[in-house]
Amino acid sequence: MVEVNEHNHKHEWLKAHRGEPINWDVLFNGFKATVDWPSCNLWREQLKHFPDAKIILSLRDSASWYESIMNTIYPYSKQSLDSEDPQLHYSGKWAFEIIWDRIFDGRLNEREFVIDKFNRHNQSVIEETPSEKLLIFEAQNGWEPLCDFLGVPVPDTHYPHTNTTNQFKDPVTHHEPASSD
């Protein structure tokens, strides 16, 4: 999301999620990869436009994923939506349209529904992606499978563990929206 914000790409991603035509080459100019939202639910469109692309499906426990989003990005989005700051308000509105309302039908409080959507997304990636283009990746396996799949050397450093709930909530590492009080 940092790159989306810094490069003012929110409008293009919004158009893509609405099914409107976009110029993928312009959107990805200067980039070699994309991760997470807003791109993860448009993997089919991206693979069609970039047929040599590879897909890395990062698997994690769906229940812990749900708890994580409900304790981090979802309340942050709600708080941003209520902000009087125009940029934060737009960020919240954008997140709701692309993620919470469009992907999860506005039913974030229905745990089983959301987890089912998460699991069905993962299954569709597995079933629809040619096996030679897909790595099913689990972070605890470290660098080796990832680097082998990408054809790059394994770095001489520990595999990172970042973007945790605590890091997300830490105001030093993550900008919190201003209180609307």
- pLDDT of 180 reads 40
Q: What's the predicted TM-score (pTM) here?
A: 0.81
Tokens of 59: 């698997």
Mean pLDDT for all residues in the chain: 86
* CATH topology classification for 2-169: Rossmann fold (3.40.50)
**Higher-pLDDT residue of 74, 3:** 74
The 10s digit of each residue's pLDDT in 149-179 is: 999 999 999 998 655 555 555 554 444 444 3
What is the rounded average pLDDT of the residues 81-109?
Answer: 89
Mean pLDDT of 81-98: 88
